[in-house]
């Protein structure tokens, strides 16, 4: 299957700082990328959908000023968690797909711990 690379895999940051997570599609052009958050033993929660060159569409309840998403090219999307707090600690996962009806491939995930 296609490869989606997410970096970093783990990050620990201090409360009040910002963290950037990168998601790259390595062998295909991703017209759409998705960002999820997952708490232990819970389902994937979609945070936002981003299409290349457009503003991201955020799910209800997700603060767009806190979770900044940039999808500047067909192979790269970034999620920046601004002014992180301990309650933002979670497993963040990106996925990418080439076209509307095709499957999406997931990155390895980023485990964020805010101390």
102 binding other proteins? (CB under 8 A): yes
Q: Give residue for tokens 């309840």.
A: 61
Write the DSSP symbol of residue 8: -
Q: Give residue for tokens 């997410």.
A: 6
Near other proteins by CB under 8 A: residue from 51, 70, 80, 82: 51
34 binding other proteins? (CB under 8 A): yes
100 binding other proteins? (CB under 8 A): yes
58 binding other proteins? (CB under 8 A): no
Write the DSSP symbol of residue 88: G
Answer for the pair 15, 112: CB distance below 8 angstroms, yes or no: no
Window contacting other proteins (CB under 8 A); options: 12-20, 45-53, 64-72, 77-85 = 45-53
Window contacting other proteins (CB under 8 A); options: 19-27, 38-46, 65-73, 78-86 = 38-46
106 binding other proteins? (CB under 8 A): yes
Q: How far apart, in Å, do the first and last CA atoms of the chain sit?
A: 36
Hey, what long-range contacts does 52-56 have (CB within 8 A, 24 or more apart)? none
The Cα–Cα gap between 27 and 16 comes to 36
Near other proteins by CB under 8 A: residue from 44, 55, 63, 72: 44
Instruction: Return residues touching other proteins (CB under 8 A).
Output: 1, 6, 32, 34, 43-44, 46, 49, 51, 57, 91, 93, 95, 97, 100-109
């Amino acid at each position: 299957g296609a490869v989606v690379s997410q970096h970093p895999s783990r990050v620990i940051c201090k409360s009040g700082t910002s963290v950037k997570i990168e998601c790259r599609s390595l062998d295909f052009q991703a017209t759409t990328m998705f960002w999820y958050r997952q708490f232990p033993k819970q389902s994937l929660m979609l945070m936002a959908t981003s299409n290349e060159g457009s503003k991201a569409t955020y799910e209800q309840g997700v603060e767009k000023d806190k979770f900044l998403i940039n999808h500047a090219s067909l192979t790269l999307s970034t999620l920046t968690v601004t002014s992180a707090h301990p309650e933002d600690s979670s497993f963040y996962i990106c996925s990418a797909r080439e076209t509307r009806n095709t499957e999406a491939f997931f990155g390895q995930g980023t485990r964020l711990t805010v101390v």
